[in-house]
Chains A and B, each alone.
Chain A
Amino acid sequence: MPIVPLCDAIRELVRDGDVVALEGFTHLIPHAAGHELIRQGRRDLTLVRMTPDVVYDQLIGMGCARRLVFSWGGNPGVGSLHRLRDAVEHGWPAPLELEEHSHAGMAAAYAAGAANLPFGLLRGYRGGDLPARTRVQTVVCPFTGEELAAVPAHRPDVGIVHAQQADRRGNVQLWGITGVQKETVLASARSIVTVEEIVDELEPPPGAVVLPAWVLDAVSVVPGGAHPSYAHGYYDRDNEFYVAWDAISRERDGFRAWMQRHVLETTDVVEYHASLGPKVAGA
């Protein structure tokens, strides 16, 4: 299992029309991988994510997505995702289908996919109208008769996550808030992990999750690859960027100009960070 440049991993493993999950809840969000999908002009993707935030606002605003499978869309603590809203309300730059779930439903769906089971089981989706407008069914417990919710398993074509470390054989280790990254990788037909660094030996901190090389298709070294999210032990969340994103993404022209300067005109994460300068560059 080779350690390859991110551009090669994306080029070989992600195709137009794929179901792609970029996961990492608050922490270790694979923004650099998202930028590379945009640079390579992927189209008609079904994007899957718990809390689509800035990374999917960017992918949707650049026309990469046809459908969004998600739980809670927004810019956490800041407000509305303007590009997501524009796509849903005005079909700009392309119409976007929505499949909405609860966080627990998404997590159950990933866990079911990872276990090669057909659906995730949970006591959820009650008391609202979501079941009438999403892919959720009621099942009856064969032992107790209780009605429970069944969510179809997530089986992405490609799962993409970011982690702190890999060793030279491509074994990956992540720690801190580890979310559903393991389940996402195991549920996906193909997987890409971007890492902060390669180390000689993986020394496990408490609560670390290990993804062995033999379940991964590509590992790429992408230092700073979570920005504006954070990597526990490496750098903090760029809270100012999340706030600034509200203004950057509010209008179509300003958004496209920012993406042109900081993503399309950069070739990798190093140039992306250099383009931002010492402080976040506004529109």
Chain B
Amino acid sequence: MTVARPVSDAGVKWTADEMMAVAASRRLRDGTVCFVGIGLPSVAANLARHTHAPGCVLIYESGTIGAKP
């Protein structure tokens, strides 16, 4: 499925997936303990961990706690 990339006023292009990941990641705070689903949710959680929430604790259904994939 190809979707035309929207263009912001500043000329930066983004996809819906990218916007969803960013929006979701901003809901996680440093120190949040989060159960993470596979796929886009994992992208969002790790984006948070790599940026504004380095202390975010990720728990995956495979049984890992404090995962840093």
Contact residues of A with B, CB < 8 Å?
Answer: 25-27, 76-77, 103, 177-179
Contacts and interface: CB of A to CB of B under 8 A. Distances in A.
Interface in B52-69: 61-64
Interface SS of B by simple majority: loop
B53 to A, nearest CB: 22
- For the complex of A and B, the 10 pairs showing the least CB-CB separation, nearest first, are A26-B62, A25-B62, A177-B62, A76-B38, A77-B39, A77-B38, A103-B61, A179-B63, A177-B63, A177-B64
Contacts, number: 16
Among B39, B62, B63, find the residue whose CB has the most chain A CB atoms closer than 10 A: B62
The size bracket of the interface on B is under 10
Interface of B: 38-39, 61-64
A26 B60 CA distance: 11
Contacts of A25: 61-63
A178 B38 CA distance: 18
A178 B65 CA distance: 13
Nearest to A103: B61
A96 B63 CA distance: 29
B8 to A, nearest CB: 28
16 contacts: A25-B61, A25-B62, A25-B63, A26-B62, A27-B62, A76-B38, A76-B39, A77-B38, A77-B39, A103-B61, A177-B62, A177-B63, A177-B64, A178-B63, A179-B62, A179-B63
Nearest to B42: A77
A25 B64 CA distance: 11
A27 B60 CA distance: 13
Contacts of B64: 177
A77 B60 CA distance: 13
A245 B61 CA distance: 23
